[in-house]
Amino acid sequence: MADLTRDDVAHLAGLARIDLSEAELDRMVGELGVILESVATVQQAPTDGVEPMSHPMPLVNVTRPDVVRPSLSPDAALAGAPDAEQQRFSVPRILDEE
Amino acid sequence: MSTTTGERTLGFDEALAAYDPAMGLEVHVELGTATKMFCGCPTEFGAEPNTQVCPVCLGLPGALPVVNAVAVESAIRIGLALNCSIASWCRFARKNYFYPDMPKNFQTSQYDEPIAFDGYLDVELEDGSVHRVEIERAHMEEDTGKSLHVGGSTGRIHGATHSLVDYNRAGIPLIEIVTKPILGTREKAPEVAKAYVSALRDLLKALEVSDVKMEQGSMRCDVNLSLAPSGSGALGTRTETKNVNSLRSVERAVRYEVGRHAAVLSGGGSITQETRHWHEDTGITTSGRVKSDAEDYRYFPEPDLVPVAPSVETVEALRATLPEPPAERRKRLQAEWGYSDLEMRDVLNAGLVDLIGETVAAGASPAAARKWWSGEVARRANTEGEDVPSYAARLGVTPAQVVELEGLVTGGRLNDSMARQAWEGVLDGEGTPTEVADARGLELVQDTGALEAAVDSVIAANPDVAEKIRGGKVQAVGALIGQVMKEMRGQADAATARQIILERLGQG
């Protein structure tokens, strides 16, 4: 398996919205590398002829009828929000701008 | 960023002289289910913010989604109506991204296993030719929340200090329908794009799976477009224009992007693969985000949902519920109603097919149904900026009233011009056709004595014309009928007047 690069970690940090310093990036390359290596052990398991699994239960077509159930009250819905305004969730500025 | 001035564009004809356009259309349709895709929250349009949300659609910890059975059935029916194959087994996937319109930080969608794939839709163009648009896939997903951007000058995301999000729409079932590259359309590209979206809208309406209101966002279109040198058979770099939300805009957006791409390419430049935003008011597109690693969605199978595996029996049972395809229905109705191609096209363009169908079913002749829904009503609806069906519904004017009006004419009470007056009265809110005719004193003179007297006096006043008719020039009778009608102040039946004149002059 190809080694994790510093660029890979920087890319992942960007996607996860985690701000890493240069020193932290260097450290994470090593630490994540060790974790990946450990997990890679499972690749030694013989999987020839085994279908990939995405769910532990052998079920299909679990559905519900199209019937309305009560929603939360707006107060309850917004209770966990760090900030709210006009009965809406208030979120920080979306675009980084000068 | 300016949205009033576009970039340099080439004229459409000039662009096509050098380049071939290729299009790809992605249409999102909100299903008309009572509840959301994965939870029982209602889906009503226009509700107070955050009143149709629950732990599932807010992505609260521990909440478990369950698929809406009707949404899956609708997706399969849409797939079948688009001549697609239906997957015997498929899964949902998480599309991960960071944008606050989804509180879960991912959208539950389908990735490499769409419920429907490999279909087509035949679309008819103005000139009667048919273009087959191939369908790549139709997959199930969920809609996002709506953001209100605060602090900027115009409510736009640029310059905003923060944003306010309403998650009522988050989780409403969406079907995304994606075409294969649409090639070889040349100068018809804008028309094909519009005709496809229009045909798709008709189909979805006939399926009764969505209210397909583009102006309310329940049907939205993204237009992918690229140019390649004429005859090269290559595919150029594409742009994806979002927010194209009317039929007319689909056509305009294609036309604009063709001209813009051509200007860039012919100037030696290259097209940046990016998202562009359509501006309805100015008719141009502006650059959105550049496709970058920010769009690494890291799809993976959704672990909280089990696969959807419709049996052959289920699929066939749903196939049996499909309505007659709109294009075939139009052909059948045109034959039944005896309309010319031109008449049928006018009726289609005016959105009158269903209304005429109801009117004919209520007992009117197809000719009368077309006549009364096309003239004055259409003019007034157009002035109000409405289509005829919604205008008529708002006014409370019904198919039954057209039947009544036609009955007044065929029953001999009203002639054509009186019927027009009665119909105007109905549209003015003065009551039913009969009530209007009563109130306005509209009534053909049934007393043939008065009519005969008028005929005699007109014949006496026009001896030359009368002589011609006696001599066999029957077509000259028109001049006399006009004068008789004038004398009768329009309160006579022209056909009867004609008959009496001809009898008097030995031609009866």
Query: Tokens 């930080």 appear where?
Result: B105
Residue B400 CA to residue B394 CA, distance in Å, equals: 15
Task: Map B95-119 to HEC letters.
Answer: EECCCCCCCCCEEEECCCCCCEEEE
Q: C-alpha distances in angstroms, B395 versus B229, B350, B378, B386, B422?
A: 54, 18, 13, 12, 15
CATH classification at residue A38: 1.10.20.60
Mutate which of B48, B50, B113, B297 to disrupt the A interface (most A C-beta within 10 Å)?
A: B50
Query: Tokens 């139709």 appear where?
Result: B138
Closest CB to B50 among A66, A69, A88: A88
> Does the distance separating the beta carbons of A74 and B306 come in below 8 Å?
no
Residue A72 CA to residue B57 CA, distance in Å, equals: 11
Please give, rounded to a whole number of angstroms, the shortest distance from the CA of B337 to a CA of chain A: 39
* Chain A CB contacts of B160 below 8 Å: 93-95
Domain membership of residue A86 (yes or no) is: no
Residue B20 CA to residue B207 CA, distance in Å, equals: 35
pLDDT at A17 over 80: no
**Regions in chain B scoring below 70 on pLDDT:** 1-5, 153, 289-295, 446, 508
What integer pLDDT is reported at residue B201 of this predicted model?
A: 94
- pLDDT tens digits for B407-466? 999 988 888 889 999 999 999 999 999 999 999 888 877 677 888 888 888 999 999 888
Instruction: Output DSSP code: residue B40.
Output: -
> Does the distance separating the beta carbons of A62 and B163 come in below 8 Å?
no
Query: H-helix or E-strand containing B383?
Result: helix B376-383
Residue B231 Ramachandran class (φ > 0 left, ψ -120 to 50 alpha, else beta): left
Residue B149: closest CA among chain A residues belongs to which residue? A93
User: CB-based contact (8 Å) between B288 and chain A?
Assistant: no
Domain membership of residue A38 (yes or no) is: yes
Phi (first) and psi of residue B148, to 5 degrees: -115, 120
- pLDDT tens digits for A28-67? 999 999 999 999 998 888 988 888 777 888 899 999 999 9
Structure tokens at B173: 């079932």
Closest CB to B66 among A64, A71, A73: A64
Angle between helices B326-337 and B341-349 (to 10 degrees): 130
Full set of structural domains in chain B with CATH: 15-318 (no CATH), 326-432 (no CATH), 448-504 (1.10.10)
Domain membership of residue A4 (yes or no) is: yes
* Beta-carbon-side half-sphere exposure of residue B83 (alpha carbons within 13 Å): 11
- Note the ipTM here: 0.75
* Three-state DSSP class for residue B151: coil
Q: What percent of chain A has pLDDT over 70?
A: 95
What integer pLDDT is reported at residue B57 of this predicted model?
A: 97
Please give, rounded to a whole number of angstroms, the shortest distance from the CA of B52 to a CA of chain A: 6
Domain membership of residue A69 (yes or no) is: no
Residues in contact with A7: Cβ distance below 8 Å, sequence separation at least 6, in sequence order: none
Instruction: Output DSSP code: residue A43.
Output: G
Total domains in chain A come to: 1
Residue B283 CA to residue B3 CA, distance in Å, equals: 9
Show the domain range for A23. 1-43
Residue A76: closest CA among chain B residues belongs to which residue? B54
Q: Exposure pattern of B192-217 as b/e (b: 16+ CB <10 Å)?
A: bbbbbbbbbbbbbbebebbebebeee
Domain membership of residue A84 (yes or no) is: no
> Does the distance separating the beta carbons of A69 and B39 come in below 8 Å?
yes
By CB atoms closer than 10 A (0-12, 13-18, 19+), residue B188 is middle
- pTM above 0.80? no
Domain membership of residue A6 (yes or no) is: yes
Phi (first) and psi of residue B300, to 5 degrees: -150, 160
Residue B241 CA to residue B239 CA, distance in Å, equals: 6
Residues in contact with B7: Cβ distance below 8 Å, sequence separation at least 6, in sequence order: B260, B263, B264, B284
* Three-state DSSP class for residue B334: helix
> Does the distance separating the beta carbons of A94 and B147 come in below 8 Å?
yes
Residue B9 CA to residue A30 CA, distance in Å, equals: 52
* Beta-carbon-side half-sphere exposure of residue B151 (alpha carbons within 13 Å): 14
Domain membership of residue A37 (yes or no) is: yes
What integer pLDDT is reported at residue B366 of this predicted model?
A: 96
Residue A53: closest CA among chain B residues belongs to which residue? B301
Is beta strand B239-244 parallel, antiparallel or unpaired with respect to B274-279?
parallel
What is the layout of strands, in order, in the sheet containing A88-92?
A84-85, A88-92, B162-166, B146-150
Query: Tokens 């499972």 appear where?
Result: A42
> Does the distance separating the beta carbons of B103 and A64 come in below 8 Å?
no
Q: How confident is the model at residue A2 (pLDDT cuts 50, 70, 90)?
A: low
What integer pLDDT is reported at residue B315 of this predicted model?
A: 98
What integer pLDDT is reported at residue B238 of this predicted model?
A: 94
Residue B295 CA to residue B292 CA, distance in Å, equals: 6
Domain membership of residue A89 (yes or no) is: no
Long-range Cβ contact pairs of B150-159 (< 8 A, separation 24 or more): B150/A85, B157/A94, B157/A95, B158/A95, B158/A97, B158/B1, B159/A97
**Distance between first and last Cα of chain B:** 79
- pLDDT tens digits for B385-396? 888 988 998 989
Residue B300 CA to residue B47 CA, distance in Å, equals: 33
* Chain B CB contacts of A82 below 8 Å: none
What integer pLDDT is reported at residue B155 of this predicted model?
A: 72
Query: Tokens 């009764």 appear where?
Result: B208
Write out the residues of chain A at the interface with chain B, using a CB-CB cutoff of 8 A.
11, 14-15, 17, 54-55, 57, 59-74, 77-78, 80, 85-95, 97
